[in-house]
Structure 1
């Protein structure tokens, strides 16, 4: 199988969690395997995974939310037979419940799939146990390397008590390897790091060339407590994904405001002066901070996997980071605050 051949290639450099797992500095986000915004196929998803393995990627992130379980199913199929050094993270908090009454409709949460199931917010012990059991079945494995509480913004009380307690229980049983939370904000993630027994957190869109809010709250406390941080959504929904900034591109899931487009354009101009592509700088920027253990980006196709690995490997001179820092466009995460 291509998977077996690919998994024998040399992995990318890794960074270690306190629980012992080594994450490659670049990870594949599998939301698009769940038909996010547009449909893909089992074959294209498998080819994307194979290309990622060929490129040395060994960390793969998914969630039940992505395509009502389709992403987990496709990722599990694509990784069947891969080497043991592959790490998979999935999420809990949105329990999937059969919904025959809506099966004739399309999912209304951005995924082009039949609404044969519905999502139910559930951070109870029973809900998390059921969610993990379902994820293990879809992934075709007996262990999840990292389990994140998924978007618990409006559920702090349950997520920070029964949610974390249940994940701790599963970690002690060896069903999951490490536990944490994944969110589009850094403030509550800082609370999880300060007040609960998490090992790693995933912050989306808050440690980027356009938004460094995680540098002010999350990264200091995570560094102090030895908690790993995974950075996701480093292109801020697409505005930083091309070297020439498209003013109509999306920013944080919506239309990009004019001042943000102007900042992205200024970033692109600095990158061009230093012979660097804006997407490569966006991808490598979070990795400047030693507490960041991986950057995860969506990769729908094998071309996406190959081009993303190329961006990770692109040589970026220190002079670029120095100018971005001095200009105030983007503080260097490698420098003390």
Structure 2
């Protein structure tokens, strides 16, 4: 796989410069579908070979599997690389699947269960455990993972938010001040909780999955506009909305409802008029916003990464973006890659 000449963007006001395309690892940890470990490692290695320098993982993914695999692939590679992982879940060993009292989507996960903990001690312990699983001495970006009402419900989230406010945030700022990490933020699927996070203090970067895509721009205001004011960057996770914009019929980890299927069909038809694959438009769209520093897909194989790189390198005519704006397929005020605002 030949390297692509990726542009880089700065993460907040830090010294980190990430390639505009990154590589996520939830899929590599066998979410919904088994991915052989060798294939997962090869996918991360192929990302490095292609010129990608930013990789994201988390303790939750396969209950430790993703961190192990990403660490294996990165450990002895000399290329400059930027790595993010997450805090908020500690892993506790189990003897059997029956010991878990909740369902999950991981195929053959490691023998652990997740325990939510956003306290000062929990954040510090999670950071140390992640270093051990990765087999690396440095984590560049540390995200608070999946805090919010959508994940926990209002009552339980209030408890976890208090943990973060009274201790977890201090742990993150101490890790950054000491140079152990270079940037801190949150990694979530709902933008509303990120507005609450601004009330706690300053953040460098947020990983927001699925809420700023070609299919959905609900986070445009007030979230992305606030990021510009607060000098916080955004990594756009889930740029295909869980597969919807790749034509899989899935959306946000479940079967797509009819209105989403219809919108995807309309977007696809518009792209086809200009000879552009829908996946290419979806991948390139988010970077038009100045707050966005990276787009983070999650390929499950080197071949799938190759397809993503083909989309990344697809030349998209300005007329396509004009058509999407004129047909009101994007929200008013959305910046487009051709320099226009919808």
Q: 2:219 — aligned with what?
A: 214
Answering whether residue 170 of structure 2 is matched by residue 165 of structure 1, we say yes
Answering whether residue 287 of structure 2 is matched by residue 287 of structure 1, we say yes
8 Å CA contact 1:106, 1:113 repeated in 2? no
CA distance in 2, matches of 1:59, 1:107: 32
Q: 1:185 — aligned with what?
A: 190
C-alpha offsets along residues 175-229 of structure 1, whole Å, 9 cap, x if unaligned? 1110000111111112223542210001111001111011122110001111000
Give the counterpart of 1:205 among 204, 210, 213.
210
Answering whether residue 123 of structure 2 is matched by residue 121 of structure 1, we say no
Deviation at 1:104, TM superposition (A): 8.3
Deviation at 1:103, TM superposition (A): 7.5
Change (3 A) 1:66 1:315: same
Q: CA RMSD in A?
A: 2.1
Gaps of 5+ in 1: 1-5
Q: 1:33 — aligned with what?
A: 28
Deviation at 1:98, TM superposition (A): 1.7
Give the counterpart of 1:60 among 55, 63, 76.
55
TM-score scaled by length of structure 2: 0.90
Gaps of 5+ in 2: 149-156
Runs of 4+ in 1 over 3 A off after TM superposition: 8-11, 101-108, 334-337
Give the counterpart of 1:12 among 6, 13, 20.
6
Matches within 5 A, 1:1-337: 12-17=6-11, 18-100=13-95, 102=97, 108-114=103-109, 116-153=111-148, 154=157, 155-242=160-247, 249-331=249-331, 332-334=334-336, 335=340
Change (3 A) 1:282 1:114: closer
8 Å CA contact 1:142, 1:175 repeated in 2? no
C-alpha offsets along residues 31-53 of structure 1, whole Å, 9 cap, x if unaligned? 12212112222211121112212
CA distance in 2, matches of 1:293, 1:180: 13
Change (3 A) 1:250 1:64: same
Change (3 A) 1:290 1:258: same
SS of structure 2 residue aligned to 1:113 = coil
SS of structure 2 residue aligned to 1:97 = strand
8 Å CA contact 1:105, 1:115 repeated in 2? no
CA distance in 2, matches of 1:117, 1:107: 12
CA distance in 1, matches of 2:144, 2:318: 36
CA distance in 2, matches of 1:114, 1:14: 34
8 Å CA contact 1:190, 1:222 repeated in 2? no
Change (3 A) 1:280 1:127: same
Change (3 A) 1:287 1:171: same
CA distance in 2, matches of 1:161, 1:143: 26
C-alpha offsets along residues 91-131 of structure 1, whole Å, 9 cap, x if unaligned? 00011112235488899311112562110000011111111
TM-score scaled by length of structure 1: 0.91
